[in-house]
Amino acid sequence: MTVQAGSRGPSSMAAGDDASDDKARAQQVAVRRRRRQFLLNIAIRAVSVTIVLLLWEQLGDHVDAALFTKPSLIAVAAVDMIGSGELWSFLAPSLVVLAVGLTLASAIGVVTGLLLARFWIVDVALGVYITFLYSIPSVALVPLIVLWAGYETTAKIVILFMFAFFPMAINTYQGVKNVDSTLLEVGRAFRCSERQLWINIVLPGALPFIVTGLRLAVGRGLIGMVLADLYTAISGIGYLIVRTASTFQVDRMFVPIVTLGLLGVTLTALLRLLERSVAPWTSAGEQD
């Protein structure tokens, strides 16, 4: 009796089942390993935070209360400021400025970086201006921006935009420049259009740099947000820091400072999740 072509004998079927079982077991082992690593990271961070807070609490007992404070007093002040709505009343306007400024800086920065990197005429014509403005400390431009845009929300958005735009533009530019030229040659050999090159080769290759630019832009955007509050209207979380410091309410001053730190950590974590969803190959070796 002969076996027809395309049919599978008992031995081949058994080999296929064994391969499937091995693959499933390997996936289960990988999932358990990632879960253990995630729990270990959480435990290490919890122990680290606990030790730092305990040392901070002990140090606070030996420093003048007008110059320093303790985590326990900051927690009490935070409960009071959150319960009274004071913290949110100053944080909300700053968050609006942060959202609008980062959105504009990200969109315009990515487009600018792509254009500079893909078209040499644009790079030659405008690249010098990007370098010139980036070389100037952004703080030096704040008084000029206030003079032109006034003291309201528009000035704050412009200031934040100045801080966050350059990391986006420069990282996008470097990302496009680092795209493997061999891939572009292969795409052209297969008669890909410029649009197809951008969608299938250029943008995926530059995506890790763009996400890195977003991380940098968030950090610089927070700096620009606080600086804008200091230089413009008497509103925003930056003004809350100055007001509490000028009246030596150190415990209440630390509440918005800690809030800014937690905001930065949260935004960075969200960007990491975004990176893993749109470019999972860039974070394969990272620890959670």
Which pLDDT band holds residue 189 (cuts at 50, 70, 90)? confident
How large is the average pLDDT for residues 231-240? 79
How large is the average pLDDT for residues 12-32? 69
**Does this model's pTM top 0.85?**
no
How large is the average pLDDT for residues 124-134? 87
The residue length of the chain stands at 288
Which pLDDT band holds residue 52 (cuts at 50, 70, 90)? very high
Question: Dihedral sign, CA of 137, 143, 144, 150?
Answer: positive
- Average confidence score pLDDT of the chain: 82
Residue 158 near residue 149, CB atoms below 8 Å:
yes
How large is the average pLDDT for residues 253-260? 92
Residue 286 pLDDT exceeds 70: no
Ranking 3-7, 109-113, 118-122, 221-225 by mean pLDDT, the lowest is: 3-7
Ranking 20-24, 127-131, 228-232, 257-261 by mean pLDDT, the lowest is: 20-24
| Matching residue, tokens 């306007």 | 93
The Cα 191–Cα 193 span in angstroms is 6
Residue 5 pLDDT exceeds 70: no
The Cα 34–Cα 176 span in angstroms is 32
Q: What's residue 1's pLDDT?
A: 46
Query: What CATH number does domain 71-283 carry, 3.90.550.10, 3.10.180.10, 1.10.3720.10, 1.10.1200.10?
Result: 1.10.3720.10
Q: How many percent of the chain have pLDDT more than 70?
A: 88
**What are the boundaries of each domain within the chain?**
18-62, 71-283
How large is the average pLDDT for residues 88-100? 90
Q: What's residue 9's pLDDT?
A: 54
